[in-house]
Structure 1
Amino acid sequence: MSDLPTIEELIASGALFVASHSGGKDSQAMLIQLLERVPAEQLLVIHASLGESEWEGALEHAQAQATAAGLPFLVAHAVKTFLGMVEHRYAVRPGPNSSCWPSASNRQCTSDLKRGPIEREVRRYVKSHGFTTVVSCMGMRAAESPARAKRLVLQPNLRNTIRGRDWWEWLPIHEMTTAEVWRTIADAGQSPHPAYLAGNQRLSCVFCILASPRDLANGARHRPELFDRYREIERRTGYTMHQSRKSLDELVAIGEAQLCALAEAA
């Protein structure tokens, strides 16, 4: 699109830049980069709380970075929980081949637990503070997946653009490699969420439908009671949570072997 504004033009227009911060490494590196480019008075940090499905300390980690930079920080809460959503989908499923878990093609967890609550809080903030242009900033990177590699770095958010309010979506670190993300955090004198130091590759839900076996095994180590609840739903419903269609027991066994190999190599 040739009529897209530049980031410099959006900054000059007084746009509000909203950094969605999961507590993960990409969000952390993104906020470091944003602070070097966007005036602090035009920045807002928001965290979508995932409740019991979230890694402990993720919210606090995001808040600490925002507070240290003197930025406003909001928490968006969904009206439902991940497991509650899964149980409801099982109860109303149209047939035996309809899984109760979200999928890569139908990520209800993202829309209902993250995107929707975040946009609701941002609309409230924009209205009360008089902003007319919003730039939603997300830490998605091309290196994460083929689908994310195809994402446009800047595009209009037509769902939230209305008369008197323009809304854009921007991926500030889309071209960053994983090594560059870690270097950005280290160069800023910051530390990542402790889950990474324990072996995690990504920080999302403790048990994510797209997680690596290593991340799932690490989650099972730290949240065994939550792991048992996910396993019970798998066994009772007959549907596996993970997109690989392997059971959590299988994936955690694979991940445990990887974590042990990682510890031996350290």
Structure 2
Amino acid sequence: MFVPDEINRLIDDGAIFYISHSGGKDSQAMYTLLRDFVPSNQIVVVHADLGEVEWEGVQDHIIQNTDHRVWVVKAKKDFLEMVEKRGKWLSAAYRQCTSDLKRGPIFKFIRNDLKKRGATVAINCLGLRAQESSSRAKKEPFAYNKMQSCNGRVIRHVYDWLPIFHYTTEEVFQTIDVAGQKPFWAYEKNERLSCVFCIMGCINDLRHGAEQRPELYKKYVELEKKIDHTMFMKKGKPISLEEHVGVKVS
């Protein structure tokens, strides 16, 4: 696990470690490592509820595999409403779902929780890994978050920390196994876990989603037709979700 020298000082200073837990393998591995490293009373587990586009059972999985209370936050809007209002699906380059449905509600919770505690230092812990993509490999595994920090009337210092930044996928699963746990059931077929039908998901993940959530899959297919915009492109041309996944809506 990547541990910056400053982390020990921040622990001694009473920093609160906010662990963002999606229910995915990376979040799960990260939590099992941090619970044995950070004092229990300085750990807060936060889950951003994605509503109907979230895999069923994710929140139960998180609760069953954590020793801390799981705080659930939720945006006022949901994903499909956001897409319909925008008239376009999101893309890998424009992931408003992450900013509006995950990051925004979690940082709002962090600000409010710090205030309630009378604390001023937060460590935002994320299970992002360099191996996942070239863009993530360029991230700083430990950095001061200027946008979320302030030093005026209100004093707040927020750091972003990626504890398992250098872990391989194999090491992530090994960490979960060593902790005596199992990853979320969808990993029996999925490579990654996010929304059931994620723009970043491979075809196999999307097919598994269509198999498990046919009613939700139908909503996505119908919304594509309604807004006349598709989630995916093939060779620079729009391709319907049904054609991309290879599963027709019955």
Same fold (TM over 0.5): yes
Contact 2:63 2:69 (C-alpha < 8 Å) held by counterparts: no
Residue 246 of structure 1: CA displacement? 3.6
Percent pairwise identity: 47
Q: 1 CA distance for matches of 2:225 and 2:20?
A: 34
Q: 2 CA distance for matches of 1:78 and 1:144?
A: 26
Q: Which residue of 2 aligns with 1:209?
A: 199
Say whether residues 1:200 and 2:190 are aligned partners: yes
Alignment of 1:64-213 (within 5 A): 64-66=64-66, 69=67, 71-90=68-87, 100-163=88-151, 164-197=155-188, 199-213=189-203
Q: Which residue of 2 aligns with 1:253?
A: 246
Contact 1:78 1:113 (C-alpha < 8 Å) held by counterparts: yes
Q: Which residue of 1 aligns with 2:19?
A: 19
Say whether residues 1:222 and 2:212 are aligned partners: yes
Residue 5 of structure 1: CA displacement? 6.3
The amino acid of 1:79's aligned partner reads K
The amino acid of 1:250's aligned partner reads E
User: What TM-score, normalized by structure 1, do the two folds share?
Assistant: 0.86
Alignment of 1:229-244 (within 5 A): 229-242=219-232
What are the Cα deviations for residues 76-115 of structure 1, in whole angstroms up to 9, with x where unaligned?
A: 111000000001001xxxxxxxxx1112222110111001
Residues 52/243 of structure 1: CA separation in 2 closer, same or farther (3 Å cut): farther
Residue 36 of structure 1: CA displacement? 2.1
Q: Which residue of 2 aligns with 1:59?
A: 59
Q: Per the alignment, in what secondary structure is the counterpart of residue 106 of structure 1?
A: coil
The amino acid of 1:208's aligned partner reads C
Q: 2 CA distance for matches of 1:242 and 1:76?
A: 29
User: What TM-score, normalized by structure 2, do the two folds share?
Assistant: 0.91
Q: 2 CA distance for matches of 1:196 and 1:151?
A: 26
Residues 189/243 of structure 1: CA separation in 2 closer, same or farther (3 Å cut): farther
Q: Which residue of 2 aligns with 1:37?
A: 37
Residue 243 of structure 1: CA displacement? 6.2
Q: 2 CA distance for matches of 1:20 and 1:131?
A: 19
The amino acid of 2:229's aligned partner reads Y
Q: Per the alignment, in what secondary structure is the counterpart of residue 184 of structure 1?
A: helix
The amino acid of 2:144's aligned partner reads P
The amino acid of 1:249's aligned partner reads E
Contact 1:217 1:251 (C-alpha < 8 Å) held by counterparts: no
What are the Cα deviations for residues 173-224 of structure 1, in whole angstroms up to 9, with x where unaligned?
A: 0000000000000111101111112x01111000011111011000000000
Q: Cα RMSD over matched residues?
A: 1.5
Contact 1:234 1:241 (C-alpha < 8 Å) held by counterparts: yes
Residue 238 of structure 1: CA displacement? 2.5
Contact 2:50 2:101 (C-alpha < 8 Å) held by counterparts: yes
Q: Which moved more, 1:138-147 or 1:123-132?
A: 123-132
Higher helix share: 1
- Report how many residues are paired: 238
Q: Per the alignment, in what secondary structure is the counterpart of residue 36 of structure 1?
A: coil
What are the Cα deviations for residues 142-187 of structure 1, in whole angstroms up to 9, with x where unaligned?
A: 0100000111000111111012110000000000000000000011
